[in-house]
């Protein structure tokens, strides 16, 4: 079992556009296994490879997010693409790469996503509700997009001020230790 370090904002790799997966090999299986272990260890519903510093197009997700079951079950989507979307829903959202910040984001209510499973077989999933939100959030990660980019400029300004303040605090704490 290997729990990987989850990179956090403003780590530059989070802004990279991830590259498609071309080969289903041991390296890919290990990445999927380690990312699953990592997601199991944290209170998150999805994890994109770029969040552990590997900019390739795949993410792990909780198959039954928010269904109240204690047992979580995970799956992977490789090279995922949204093929259709409908409706609109506003909900609060967070991100493992942006700890301690949540805000309301508008997403499509239903999405149809296609990609490939762990074995390399084609997969097509129609998701609604929280799972649809997870898919849209994780596919954003693969394009270097974070949920804070989808906030109004006023709210994004508030977020950035808060980050600056936190960074100043940690600098002050560091200099206090010297």
Residues of this chain that bind Ni ion (CB under 5 A): 95
With respect to Ni ion, which residue has the nearer C-beta, 10 or 120? 10
Give the nearer residue to Ni ion in terms of CB position, either 143 or 169. Answer: 143
CB of 117 to Ni ion, least distance (A): 21
Q: 138 an active-site residue?
A: yes
Nearest CA-CA partner of 72 in 99, 97, 46: 46
Residue 87's CB is within 10 A of a number of other CB atoms, namely: 11
Tokens 């990179």 correspond to: 7
Compute the distance between CA of residue 143 and CA of residue 19 in angstroms, rounded to an integer: 9
Q: From the candidates 11, 63, 138, 173, which is the catalytic residue?
A: 138
Cα gap 87→76, rounded to integer Å:
25
Q: Least distance in Å: CB of 170 to Ni ion?
A: 22
For Ni ion, the closer of residues 24 and 156 by Cβ is 156
Residue closest to Ni ion, measured at CB: 95
Name which of 39 and 95 has its Cβ closer to Ni ion.
Answer: 95
Extract the runs of DSSP E, i.e. beta strands, from 49-156: 58-62, 74-86, 89-95, 98-107, 110-116, 122-128
Four-point Cα dihedral 143, 147, 148, 153, nearest 10 = 90
Distance of closest approach, residue 59 Cβ to Ni ion, in angstroms: 9
- Cite the active site residues: 138
């Amino acid at each position: 079992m290997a729990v990987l370090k989850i990179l956090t904002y403003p780590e530059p790799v989070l802004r990279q556009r991830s590259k498609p997966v071309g080969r289903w090999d041991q390296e890919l299986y290990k990445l999927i296994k380690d990312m699953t272990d990592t997601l199991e260890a944290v209170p998150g519903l999805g994890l994109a490879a770029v969040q552990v510093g590997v900019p390739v197009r795949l993410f792990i997700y909780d198959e039954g997010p928010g269904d109240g079951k204690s047992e979580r079950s995970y799956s992977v989507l490789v090279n995922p693409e949204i093929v259709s979307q409908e409706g609109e829903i506003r909900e609060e959202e967070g991100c493992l790469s942006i700890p301690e910040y949540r805000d309301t984001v508008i997403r499509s209510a239903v999405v149809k996503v296609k990609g490939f499973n762990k074995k390399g077989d084609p997969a097509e999933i129609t998701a609604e509700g929280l799972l649809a939100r997870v898919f849209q959030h994780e596919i954003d990660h693969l394009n270097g997009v974070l949920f804070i980019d989808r906030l109004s400029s006023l709210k994004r300004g508030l977020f950035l001020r808060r980050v600056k303040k936190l960074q100043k605090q940690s600098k002050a704490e560091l200099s206090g230790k010297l």
